Amino acid sequence: MPLSISSSDPGRSAQTANTNLRVRFAAVVVIVSVAAVFLGAEIFCRYAFPRISQIEGRIRSDEHQARSISAPSSGQPTVLMVGNSLLLRGLEYPKIRAEMAPDAQVTRFVIENTNYLDWYYGLRHMFESGVHPSMVVLCLNLKQTISSGILGDYSARHLFGVAELLPVAHEAGMDATRTSGLILAHWSAFYSSRATIRNFILNTSDPPYARAMHNLADSAPNPLPAPDELVNTARKRVNAIQQLCGQNGIEFVLLIPPSLNRNNDLLASAASLQHVNFDYPLPVGELGPEYFLDGAHLNPKGAAVFTDAVARCLRARLVNLDRTRTYRKEQ
């Protein structure tokens, strides 16, 4: 009778052990490789990408300067101007800094495609982190003021602190999946910048296609509610951000940009009804279509006019601010 082969045969056991060892080694190699790729991507996004992308480099520079603002120890007030592409295109930054010096130090912090919620919670985090300008100037139009949207992952990384993530996600109407992505983006430069990197590659490799996609997104219909509802929503928003600044001893000014339509007139009405400080230096009719790139963004010719108008408004605001502080000291 033939002998059966035992399952404990030394040769087969050694072969099985070698196979298991190779599988474990391959798994370790895969895990280490994936970790190395993600680590490399994270390092690239934190240190290399801002040097490659002009937009990313400018945002990082703005952020660094804004976060370095502390309570002024001298008599020179500090003005932090925040907003999106309306401020970026409409304000000649070097010019207004030069015009306001040495009476005031002006610092700009601009992130494109941001709205009210981005800046409300962004400013809240900056104030809690010790940023303390004399005055905050927020430049938004009506649609951006009433919007419940946020820039999402990018704002989670560059504007929000840990304490702001859940409240802003709730107010923006995010579900659990998007909220978890927001939390991950706060800690990971790669995760928060992946859309920015994709746009950078697209703009670099195929600029005409990128412009067409951008124009298509801008032209998407977005009907507004009734005027009364718009004003009521805007009143709550501008009042909330003025209270936020006031609680931190900071003057707040809403800067209303020029436009070719009258929507921003409703924003001015809301600020006036709520007794919120606002400047509307160039209302409808002051600038014609030749001053605009489109119906909202100014071209260089329009930016020169708007910058001069903003400088005049700032000088008047700073005079009143100085008088108020002098009065308080005397009291």
pLDDT band at 1 (very low <50, low <70, confident <90, very high): very low
Residue 83's pLDDT is: 97
Question: Is the Cβ–Cβ distance between 195 and 202 less than 8 Å?
Answer: no
The pLDDT mean for the chain works out to 88
Q: Pick the residue with more confidence: 143 or 14? A: 143
Q: Which residues contact 30 (CB under 8 A, 6 or more apart)?
A: none
Q: What percent of the chain has pLDDT over 70?
A: 88
- Measure Cα distances from 122 to 82, 93, 115, 119, 246 in Å: 10, 21, 11, 5, 16
Query: Whole-angstrom Cα distance, residue 66 to residue 60?
Result: 10
pLDDT for residue 8: 55
Position 325 scores a pLDDT of 59
- Res. 208: pLDDT tops 80: no
If you average pLDDT over residues 181-205, what whole number do you get? Answer: 85
Place 192 in a pLDDT band, splitting at 50, 70 and 90: confident
Buried residues in 66-92 as b, exposed as e (16+ CB within 10 A): beebeeeeeeebbbbbbbbebbbbbbb
Q: Compute the average pLDDT of residues 230-237.
A: 97
Q: Specify the range with the lowest mean pLDDT, choosing from 82-91, 144-153, 200-209.
A: 200-209
Question: In this predicted model, which residue has the larger pLDDT, 225 or 256?
Answer: 256
Instruction: Kindly state the average pLDDT of the residues 219-228.
Output: 75
Among 84-93, 121-130, 157-166, 218-227, name the one with the lowest average pLDDT.
218-227
Which pLDDT band holds residue 5 (cuts at 50, 70, 90)? very low
More confident residue, 40 or 77: 77
pLDDT tens across 100-114, in order?
A: 999 899 999 999 999
**Interaxial angle between packed helices 263-273 and 227-247, expressed in degrees from 0 to 180 and rounded to the nearest 10:** 50
Higher pLDDT, 168 or 205: 168
Q: Residue 31 CB: number of other CB atoms within 10 A?
A: 10
* Alpha carbon distance 254, 136 (integer Å): 8
pLDDT of residue 11: 66
Q: Is a pLDDT exceeding 50 seen at residue 327?
A: no
| pLDDT(132) > 80 | yes
What pLDDT, on a 0 to 100 scale, did the predictor assign at position 224?
A: 80
How far is the CA of 297 from the CAs of 9, 191, 251, 257, in angstroms? 80, 30, 26, 9
In one-letter notation, the amino acid at residue 115 is N
> In angstroms, rounded to a whole number, what is the distance separating the alpha carbons of residues 269 and 116?
17
Using alpha carbons, select from 47, 76, 83, 48 the residue that is nearest to residue 62. 83
- Sheet arrangement for strand 135-139: 105-110, 78-83, 135-139, 251-255, 278-279
pLDDT digits (tens, 9 = 90+) for 32-57: 887 787 788 778 788 887 888 899 99
Is the per-residue pLDDT at 302 higher than 50? yes
Q: Please, which residues have CB within 8 angstroms of residue 284's CB and are 6 or more apart in sequence? A: 258, 259, 260, 261, 262, 264, 265
Tell me the one-letter amino acid at 51.
R
Rounded distance, CA 146 to CA 111, Å? 18
pLDDT class for 309, splitting at 50, 70, 90?
A: very high
pLDDT band at 159, cuts 50/70/90? very high
* Residue-level pLDDT at 112: 95
* Nearest partner of 60 among 78, 48, 77, judged by Cα: 48
Distance of CA 8 to the CA centre of its chain: 66
Name which of 178-182, 224-228, 234-238 the model is least confident about. Answer: 224-228
